[in-house]
Amino acid sequence: MTYFQSLHLPLYLAPLAILAALLYIGMSYQLWYIPAFILGLLLVHFLYRKLGPKKTFALLLILYTLGAIETYHAYLSPSLLTDWYDAYAKLFFTSRNGLFYTSIFIYLGYFPADYGQIALFQKKRWLSLLLASLFLAGEGVLVYIRQGLDKNFFFALIPFTLFLFNWLLKTQWKRKKNWRHLKDLSILYFFLHPIFIELSFFLLKSQQLTKWENGRWAFLLTIILTHLTSELVIRWRGKKQKRSESLVFEENHIER
């Protein structure tokens, strides 16, 4: 509803806010990823069939570059590009969506399937990942020096994601252990952490803390509370599943 209020539209248009929340920005600030993923997936699938891999990548890179105006706004302003983005942002709020942002990363999932046998993905995979990591760190410093409207679009994130994905696909050590617990934790972290961010700020409201101290304590409390709650939920699910399996076993045993 914050997005709707910022547009200063009459109340009878409130359903548009709900529609925008469901299909564009999500019902909570971290849930933007879900509609963005769906739109990006549909866009990539359509372009891939119509244009092929190379033209699709070129077009998605152009879209990503346009979206990156928000991150490099301070470097580009004043210019026609920033004027265009400012006009766009008044209506659509952010370029971190399925059109400009997520689509190129979804396409990277297609990339190893099409070009996975080339030498770049077969030899010295760790070196490619290391160089991409250094590139990402350097770009992070560049963005930090002159911060734009937001900090979502990093060009180095594209090769970093690609080489990390390729390395994970081909590495052997990950297959020696069951990572299901970490997967469950990551899902719960994603959906639960906003609750504890707000709770932490509420608990710290009465404390006489500087902005830096307040943020640091809120960060620490959020991590601890999110992790503990996630572990409790996972254990509760495990016990519930065991009880269900036990009941099924007993019923089958009685029938016999």
**Pairwise CA distance, residues 181 & 149, whole Å:** 36
114 and 225 inside one domain: no
On the question of pLDDT at 198 being above 90, the answer is: no
239 and 147 inside one domain: no
User: Is residue 13 a part of any domain in this protein?
Assistant: no
**Pairwise CA distance, residues 57 & 97, whole Å:** 17
**% of the chain surpassing 70 pLDDT:** 82
99 and 71 inside one domain: yes
Range of the structural domain that residue 207 is part of: 179-243
* Of 117 and 189, more confident: 189
43 and 164 inside one domain: yes
State the pLDDT at residue 114. Answer: 77
* Of 171 and 57, more confident: 57
Q: How many domains does the chain have?
A: 2
166 and 185 inside one domain: no
User: Is residue 255 a part of any domain in this protein?
Assistant: no
46 and 84 inside one domain: yes
137 and 222 inside one domain: no
153 and 48 inside one domain: yes
User: Is residue 16 a part of any domain in this protein?
Assistant: no
- Whole-prediction pTM: 0.75
37 and 110 inside one domain: yes
**Pairwise CA distance, residues 254 & 256, whole Å:** 5
Q: Of 31-40, 72-81, 209-218, 240-249, where does mean pLDDT reach its minimum? A: 240-249
86 and 191 inside one domain: no
142 and 224 inside one domain: no
Segment 149-170, tens digit of pLDDT: 888 999 999 999 999 988 888 7
72 and 156 inside one domain: yes
Contact 219, 204 (CB under 8 A): no
Domain boundary among 127, 145, 170: 170
User: Is residue 8 a part of any domain in this protein?
Assistant: no
Task: Report which of 71, 68, 90, 87 is spatially closest to residue 9, judged by C-alpha positions.
Answer: 90
Residue-level length of the chain:
256
User: Is residue 53 a part of any domain in this protein?
Assistant: yes
